[in-house]
Chain A
């Protein structure tokens, strides 16, 4: 980092004629780097705090608890890059899980019940999309409204009681493929797919342009509304899948699953270096940040550190990460 600063000062007087940055700097001085460094630090600190921490099976197992939120956070990252935000998917997870569980309890066969859950996800995405795109309301406020609304609906459907799912449906997190729990695998695969789409397809480049400069995007003939709507639908459906995975992990569904999860999703995206005002960010960053969060919280819980300290650390991490992200962007993208 100090290297960058020095070269910055040296370059200051002749900034206008300054040549392009060395390739290695562009490659390395990125927000993801900071996430990666934090991840390494967290691993070292956590292992020294408790002898029980450094155990791959345990870490993977702990990741399954956050894998569902992390999946949604990946899509949320793309959403934020496109200049919108969705705070409702954690409630959406609960609602989709509740409609799914309610349907199968009412005798609908499981595959159809899964379909009901997915449809719920689509419907939620559609409603958010219509309110934001058709009615041009700010997504942050709309989705705070639907955050309350969707969880409220979940509560109407399920009441305060929990709905059981059949035995054979339980335990997706206990199924191991190559020693890796399925939810972790799903998360990794989704990261690779979305990472590819975002970085290497026209659709992905268009998303960045919409977020960076909506007017330029319009002049370039990009159908911003259509792309944004597709993102709202995608996040709705991802939330519904995540919700049903949670149902399988817990064996029962209640309206309060993933309560407060929106905070963690936003935290993952921010820690991964996604710029809250759009246009910048990457799937790799969110991928790393998800692991960072799991390692921080698991490390602290297994070391029996007061849960209060975890809140403080998460809050401070968020602020540090955004300061660093801003700093890096201001240095590298002049």
Chain B
């Protein structure tokens, strides 16, 4: 503002002092304009000393113009004043651009810092997730290995149990499960449903094997040959199945896991015309369910 006022004063001085005698040289006119621009631009804020010096150069030119309007000296001083004013203007622009650059660099550094922090946070989060996942995988692998071990052990026990069963009874596999067949001759006296002493020993082994096999649903089925009345046979087969069931429960098989049914002569495994066939048909079968379901 101060410089605008100065320019105005210089202009008035010029008009009042010398206008009547001679027109100012082109360099002086341009110098005034250049100084006016410089004093209104960034230099007025950022290059005060340079602007002050340019003002001095312009004043010298103005004085020279007052004293010797058309002289080479006035033209040369005006030329120098013009260049000084242009130089100040350029320096003002330079300093302003430098300030803008510094602000931009600070902003960029701040942004980069923020982004770095965010990236580091995200990285830490990812690392934590990775660690969690690795722990989960390790735990799963451990559990899988333990489960595999348990399965192998269970299979080994089941196989051992089956093997011991095969030593005391006929064992066969059917779709409904493992069928353990015990001859009626071994278990009961003719027409009776009470277990013979030898039968108890046999059933002890069967019970141990069944317990070793793990929790399975068991059905004890009583079968007879076709001699005698069907109703009596039916009743006898049920009583025998219940005897076996009761004994197995007494040997540790859970009550809820085992049921008994009497099938009479309805499911012969051999012809009833021969004594051997009838002997085979008089039997108790224990059906060991493959599934874990238990029903009573």
Q: Do they bind each other?
A: no
Query: A residues bordering B, Cβ < 8 Å?
Result: none
Query: B residues bordering A, Cβ < 8 Å?
Result: none
